[in-house]
Structure 1
């Protein structure tokens, strides 16, 4: 088990279970503080390599995951690893795809799907989950 995220650090979302997951924008500099142990990069093209364990989930900007079944498995892994590791999800801007993934993680954590977008907007970024189809994806996401 590693030290977890500081719950007051920028981009850190506390799920109802207490799990801490950091969302961030890859176009911005890496925040000060510890690096993630595991990251999932939500991008349409392969991301640059990083010094920690990372996985690429093909997810074009303003869209949905290219492979929904793969996305479900990756998000479940993020949720499970967040119990004892510094895990982050990140896309280019840190709002649409990242917010959608965080909302799905909230569903996995027990937040009703119909309220998950509002939860992420209240606790992560008020502009998270940018498109109607991203909101619909979250509403249809199940545990």
Structure 2
């Protein structure tokens, strides 16, 4: 675990469910280097994390923190009003330069609009 307070809510982007956690969470089935198995479930989970982040400590995580997490962060940016065409570049600039690892993930973000 990283240093600091524990989250009160988390969204986990993994190929299989995470183990037991000490806080409320949502699992979105999302195999590494691919797209979410259920895009509607991802949108619902990201909408919830975005809403709860205003007053709670939340986290989004995958296995490595780059492709799936970067894609989800770019989608969150879109939910927050960043144009979909700019979201990947924003996440790469402020989070990780290699975030959103595949062209399919970048196309997914481009189509994530409202």
Is the pair's TM-score, using the shorter chain for normalization, greater than 0.5?
yes
Gaps of 5+ in 1: 1-29
What residue in structure 2 maps to residue 119 of structure 1? 90
Q: TM-score, normalised by structure 2?
A: 0.97
Deviation at 1:53, TM superposition (A): 1.1
Q: Distance in 2 between matches of 1:49 and 1:116?
A: 32
Q: Distance in 2 between matches of 1:117 and 1:101?
A: 10
Q: Distance in 2 between matches of 1:102 and 1:46?
A: 20
- RMSD (Å) for aligned C-alpha atoms: 0.7
Q: Distance in 2 between matches of 1:141 and 1:54?
A: 22
What residue in structure 2 maps to residue 99 of structure 1? 70
What residue in structure 2 maps to residue 85 of structure 1? 56
Residue from 89, 98, 109 that aligns with 2:80 = 109
Q: TM-score, normalised by structure 1?
A: 0.78
Higher helix share: 2
Count of aligned positions:
114
